[in-house]
Amino acid sequence: MSNVVYLRSRRREIEQPIRTTSPVPRIVQQIRYRNKHEKNSIVLVSGDTGEGKSRFAGWLVTTMDPGFLESWRNGLPRISISPLPLIQAFRNDVLSPGNFWFIDEPRDVKNTKWQTDVAEAVRDVFTEGRVSGVNVIVCTTMKKKLQNDLRDLAHYWVRMESPGNCEIRKFKPKLKWFHGEAVEIRVPRLLERLRNVPMPIDEFEQLYRPLRLGNFKEITDLWMKKFAKKGYIK
């Protein structure tokens, strides 16, 4: 983690040169603080294909949750492309404070239904769940503007700029007046910028690759069935 470079504000970026070493990133500090006080944390990672969303998520979960890879080795990976396994994990009491669950967006999602389903499921689970201090990280291709359900759900928003480089914002409540009534909205405020975030350890890449391949097969099988139904292929 010592190679991560971070910038906390534009003013500081101007006043000070970028350092090649840095203390623990603020997002790590804050999530640890929240977990210590039995608060859950939800992190959104957005960006286009190839900008390093999964790389950042892999780095964060393996840095903060030593048991993440261990659960994978034991055949109970805390990673999925839908919220259903997360719900099952809560039902079976397999998550402990400080644990991470990684929800990776299916390839080529072109509508907001998946984002809405994830937001509603995670919100319901955390509202009714018995475990506090658990963290969920969600990767999505929605880069410039988050879908409203995801925006209302998250505590942190990581916007990938390129592999290893990102801008991190923290959602904070703010009151706005509409037609004489105060309405609370959540505004993403800049927390820090990270540069040169390292790759996840090799074992994460080795375990993650089959998930991507399975994801690809699921998508291609779906399209093959659609084409066959329309008579394009036999």
CB 100 within 8 A of CB 122: no
Mean residue pLDDT across the chain: 79
What mean pLDDT do residues 148-167 have? 88
3-class DSSP assignment, residue 104? strand
CB 72 within 8 A of CB 207: yes
What is the arithmetic mean of pLDDT over 158-180? 88
Spatial strand order of the sheet with 165-178 comes to 5-7, 181-195, 165-178, 156-162, 41-46, 135-140, 100-104, 79-80
Exposure string for 43-65, b = 16+ CB within 10 A, e = fewer: bbbbbeeebbbbbbbbbbbbbbb
Q: Is the full-model pTM beyond 0.75?
A: yes
- pLDDT, tens digit, for every residue of 189-205? 999 999 999 888 788 87
Identify whether the C-beta of residue 33 lies closer than 8 Å to the C-beta of residue 170.
no
* Radius of gyration (C-alpha) of the chain in whole angstroms: 19
Residue 179 confidence (pLDDT) = 75
| Non-local CB neighbours of 213 within 8 Å, separated by 6+ positions | none
As a whole-number percent, the residues of the chain with pLDDT over 70 amount to: 74
| Residue 4 banded pLDDT, cuts 50, 70, 90 | low
Query: 38-76 pLDDT, tens per residue?
Result: 999 999 999 888 899 989 999 999 999 989 999 888 888
150 close to 37: Cβ distance less than 8 angstroms: no
Candidates 28, 33, 62; CA nearest to 43 is 28
CATH architecture of 25-201: 3-Layer(aba) Sandwich (3.40)
The pair of structure tokens assigned to 55 is: 């790389």
Task: Kindly report, residue by residue over 70-113, the tens digit of the pLDDT.
Answer: 988 888 889 888 888 888 888 888 889 999 999 887 665 555 67
pLDDT for 138-153, tens place per residue?
A: 988 875 556 677 778 8
List Cβ neighbours of 33 (8 Å cut-off, separation of 6 or more). Answer: none
Q: Which residue has the higher pLDDT, 176 or 56?
A: 56
